[in-house]
Structure 1
Amino acid sequence: EGKSHRTKAELNAREKGEAAFATGIPIKEKEETKKNVVAHKEFLRVTKLLNKIEKCDALYENIINRYCLLYAECRDFEEKRERFYRDLWEMEEGKENGDFEDSPRTYYKLKNDIQKNIVNLDKQVQAKRKMMMAIEKESIMTLAAAMRSVPKTPENETNPLLAILEGGKS
């Protein structure tokens, strides 16, 4: 109910520590991200979320822009793959209906080529997804690391080791 088990000094130390991990400069969208409709839309979504947790800082600018461009590239490859699936499906239906007039050799060569393209696109999508996952993990770990780096207790004014070495009590 608005009460904390931490002292005011601890809360102040934590607040100062959190502030030390931010530049105070907002994230800017790069030109290539703006030009790509899908990347731009993802950029707006991600920065809105980062604003809510007060982590929309220029420190993450390159990471977020890169992530959004990868997201757009991934979507593009997925759409291409779906077009190849549709083409393959239509070709198979045409063969069954007798609409495919080329030789069986041509049919199977074309079918094989389409399937190779689908597999190639799948590999590219997986590579993009892997890069996106790495960015997501790194971004989260960076934020988590920043939170772990924030002092939870105020720094002790006297150094206990110095006190012992000087012959005093800690």
Structure 2
Amino acid sequence: MAGRPSKPVQLIKLEGKSHRTKSELKHREKAEKSLYTGTTFKESPAVKADPVAHREFLRLKKLYKSIEFVDGLDEQIINRYCMLISQEHALAKMMERMRMDIDQVEDVEDRMRIYESIAGVTDKVMKTRDMLLKLEDRLFLNPTARIKSIPKMPAEEKKESAMAQFINRRAGGHAP
């Protein structure tokens, strides 16, 4: 069982209280800022040409306007998401037509073929969606994956073990 995903520093500051130290927050903020490219995401030609995907892109662009964590690095995932929304819309229409066809078909074998087609298309869409999500997480192509990649604790200086300190004191005759 995995822990909760890390919250961005901005959100932690807005909440007003945190168990993290000031140095931890400063480290996380610096690491988060290093992930930004300063570019904005753009609509792909395929999304622009598809009315459903285009409408979803415009909706997301409006929502993401005030979120710092989304920039040019997220262009591909946003365009893929918009195309997936369009694909789901088209699939729903196709399934509705198939359901209407089932009512008109009296032959049991033809009905079975239509049911198999519906199940096959649904299965392919779910497998594709699952594969995309896994790849996007592995390649840090979404904001959550990038935030999760930031180490929670700043690197600490390594201290000598008690035995090493003792040996140093004995060899030099004094404590370091």
Do both share a fold (TM > 0.5)?
Answer: yes
CA-CA distance at 1:80 after TM superposition:
1.4
CA-CA distance at 1:118 after TM superposition:
4.4
Mean Cα deviation higher: 125-134 or 78-87? 125-134
Q: From 115, 120, 139, give the equivalent of 2:117.
A: 120
Query: Which residue in the other structure is 2:38 paired with?
Result: 24
Root mean square deviation, CA, Å: 3.3
Alignment partners' CA distance in 1, 2:43 and 2:119: 29
Superposition map of 1:1-170 within 5 A? 2-51=16-65, 53-89=67-103, 91=104, 108=107, 112-113=109-110, 115-136=112-133, 138-139=135-136, 142=140, 143-156=143-156, 158-160=157-159
Alignment partners' CA distance in 2, 1:47 and 1:138: 23
Structure 2's unaligned 5+ residue stretches are: 1-14, 170-174
**Structure showing greater relative contact order (alpha-carbon pairs closer than 8 Å, 6 or more residues apart):** 1
Alignment partners' CA distance in 2, 1:84 and 1:154: 57
CA-CA distance at 1:145 after TM superposition:
4.1
- Asked whether the equivalents of residues 102 and 114 of structure 2 are also in contact (C-alpha less than 8 Å), the reply is no
Say if 1:145 and 1:88 are closer, same or farther in 2 by CA, change over 3 A.
closer
Say if 1:30 and 1:146 are closer, same or farther in 2 by CA, change over 3 A.
same
CA-CA distance at 1:126 after TM superposition:
2.4
Alignment partners' CA distance in 1, 2:132 and 2:66: 20
Say if 1:44 and 1:137 are closer, same or farther in 2 by CA, change over 3 A.
farther
Structure 1's unaligned 5+ residue stretches are: 93-106
Alignment partners' CA distance in 1, 2:136 and 2:55: 19
Say if 1:67 and 1:159 are closer, same or farther in 2 by CA, change over 3 A.
same
Larger radius of gyration: 1
- Asked whether the equivalents of residues 50 and 56 of structure 1 are also in contact (C-alpha less than 8 Å), the reply is yes
- Asked whether the equivalents of residues 67 and 135 of structure 1 are also in contact (C-alpha less than 8 Å), the reply is no
Deviations 1:55-114 (A, max 9, x none): 32222221221232133123212211211211332x26xxxxxxxxxxxxxx53xx6445
Alignment partners' CA distance in 1, 2:74 and 2:118: 29
- Asked whether the equivalents of residues 43 and 65 of structure 1 are also in contact (C-alpha less than 8 Å), the reply is yes
Alignment partners' CA distance in 1, 2:76 and 2:96: 30
How high is the sequence identity, in percent, across the aligned residues? 34
CA-CA distance at 1:20 after TM superposition:
1.6
